[in-house]
Copies of this chain bind each other. A is one copy, B any other.
Amino acid sequence: MTTEAQSTELTHFDQTGQAHMVDVAGKQDTHRIAVASGTIRMLPATLAIIMQGNAKKGDVLGIARIAAIMAAKRTSDLIPLCHPLPLTRVSIDFNIVAEKAMIICTAQVETLGKTGVEIEALTAVQIGLLTIYDMCKAVDRGMVMSDIRVLEKHGGKSGDWTSLIDASSGQA
Contacts and interface: CB of A to CB of B under 8 A. Distances in A.
Contact of A43 (B2, B17, B85, B147): B2
Interface in A36-76: 38, 41-43, 45, 49, 53, 56-60, 62-63, 65-67, 69-74, 76
Given A16-B57, A58-B13, A83-B86, A145 B148 contact: yes
B153 A134 contact: no
* Interface residue range, chain A: 35 or more
Contacts of A114: 88
Which interface residue of A45, A134, A164, A172 has the most chain B CB atoms within 10 A? A134
A144 B138 contact: no
A23 to B, nearest CB: 4
Contacts of A66: 19, 63, 66-67, 80
Contacts of A153: 141
A110 B17 contact: no
Copies in the complex: 6
Contacts of A135: 10, 12, 81
B83 A88 contact: yes
A9 B139 contact: yes
A67 B89 CA distance: 19
Contacts of A123: 130
6 contacts: A20-B92, A66-B67, A83-B88, A84-B86, A88-B114, A142-B164
Which 8 A-B residue pairs are closest in the complex by CB-CB distance?
A17-B57, A13-B58, A1-B142, A2-B142, A146-B146, A23-B89, A21-B90, A20-B91
